[in-house]
Structure 1
Amino acid sequence: MSEFFQANAEVIERRWPALFSRLLSEDSSAIEAELTQGQGATLSINGIQLTSRHDRIHEARIQAESLPVGKPQLHVYGTGLGDLPAVLLERAGLERLYVHILNGALFALVLQLLDQRQWLQDPRVELLYAGDLPDICTPFFALPAEMLLADDFNAKIRDRLVSEVHLSFNNREFDPQSPFILQRLQDCLPVLLGDDDVARLFGTARDREIYVIGTGPTLEGHFQRLAMVYAQAERPLLVCVDTAYRPLREHGIVPDLVVTIDQRISFRHLPFEDSDGIPLVYLPMSDPAVLTAWKGKRYGGYSASPVYAALREQYPRGQLHVGGSVIHPAVDLAVKLGASRITLFGADFAFPMNKTHAGWNDGDLGPGVDQARHWVRDGNGQRVSTQLNFRGYLCVLERYIAAHPQVRFYNSSRAGALIAGTQFNQEFVQ
Structure 2
Amino acid sequence: MSDSFDHNAQVIERRWPALFARLVTECSMEEQAELVEGLGSTLSIAGIQLTSRHDRTREARLQAASLPPESPVVHVYGTGLGDLPSVLLESDVQRVYVHILNGAIFRLTLQLLDQCHWLSDPRIELRYAGDSSDICMPFFALPSEMLLADDFNAKIRDRLISEVHLAFSNRRFDPTSPEIIRRLEESVELVSQDADVAELFATCPGREVYVIATGPSLEHHFEQLRAIREQTPRPLLISVDTAYRPLREHGIAPDIVVSIDQRIGLSHLPPEDTGDIPLVYLPLSDPQVLSAWQGARYVGYSASPVYAALRQQLPKAELYVGGSVIHPAVDLAVKMGADRITLFGADFAFPMNKTHAGWGDGDLGPGVSQARHWVLDGNGQRVSTQLNFRSYLCELERYIAGHPQVSFFNSSRAGAMIVGTMFNQEFVQ
Q: Establish whether TM, by shorter chain, passes 0.5.
A: yes
Task: Give the partner amino acid of 2:397.
Answer: E
Task: Give the partner amino acid of 1:72.
Answer: P
**Normalising by the residue count of structure 1, what TM-score does the alignment of the two structures yield?**
0.99
Query: Structure 2 matches for 1:342-353, cutoff 5 A?
Result: 342-353=341-352
Give the equivalent residue in structure 2 for 1:203. Answer: 202
1:267 Cα deviation after fit: 0.3
The verdict on how the C-alpha distance between 1:31 and 1:396 changes in structure 2, with shifts beyond 3 A counting, is: farther
Contact 2:191 / 2:314 at 8 angstroms: preserved in 1?
A: no
Task: Give the partner amino acid of 1:272.
Answer: P
Give the equivalent residue in structure 2 for 1:298. Answer: 297
**d(CA) in 2 for partners of 1:266 and 1:30?**
53
1:138 Cα deviation after fit: 0.8
Give 5+ residue unaligned stretches, structure 1: none
Query: Structure 2 matches for 1:31-50, cutoff 5 A?
Result: 32-50=32-50
The verdict on how the C-alpha distance between 1:156 and 1:31 changes in structure 2, with shifts beyond 3 A counting, is: farther
Give the equivalent residue in structure 2 for 1:270. Answer: 269
1:421 paired to 2:420: yes
Summarize deviations over 1:265-312 as a string: whole Å, max 9, x none: 000000001111110000000000110110000000100001111112
**d(CA) in 1 for partners of 2:39 and 2:350?**
44
**Normalising by the residue count of structure 2, what TM-score does the alignment of the two structures yield?**
0.99
Summarize deviations over 1:64-93 as a string: whole Å, max 9, x none: 11100111111000000101001111111x
1:47 Cα deviation after fit: 1.4
**d(CA) in 2 for partners of 1:233 and 1:20?**
56
Query: Structure 2 matches for 1:170-249, cutoff 5 A?
Result: 170-249=169-248
Contact 1:31 / 1:45 at 8 angstroms: preserved in 2?
A: no
Runs of 4+ in 1 over 2 A off after TM superposition: 28-31
Give the equivalent residue in structure 2 for 1:118. Answer: 117
**d(CA) in 2 for partners of 1:291 and 1:114?**
63
Task: Give the partner amino acid of 1:71.
Answer: S
**d(CA) in 2 for partners of 1:7 and 1:272?**
70
**d(CA) in 1 for partners of 2:24 and 2:248?**
56
The verdict on how the C-alpha distance between 1:30 and 1:259 changes in structure 2, with shifts beyond 3 A counting, is: farther
Give the equivalent residue in structure 1 for 2:146. Answer: 147
1:7 Cα deviation after fit: 1.0
Give the equivalent residue in structure 2 for 1:169. Answer: 168
**d(CA) in 2 for partners of 1:28 and 1:306?**
49
Give the equivalent residue in structure 1 for 2:380. Answer: 381
1:30 Cα deviation after fit: 5.4
**d(CA) in 2 for partners of 1:58 and 1:241?**
49
1:133 Cα deviation after fit: 0.8
Two-structure CA RMSD over aligned residues (Å): 0.8
Summarize deviations over 1:373-421 as a string: whole Å, max 9, x none: 1111111111111111111110000000000000000000111111000
Give the equivalent residue in structure 1 for 2:71. Answer: 71
Task: Give the partner amino acid of 1:159.
Answer: D
1:43 match: secondary structure = strand
1:260 Cα deviation after fit: 0.2
Worse overlay, 25-34 or 269-278: 25-34
The number of residues matched between the two structures is 429
2:104 match: secondary structure = helix
% identical equivalent positions: 72
1:315 Cα deviation after fit: 1.5
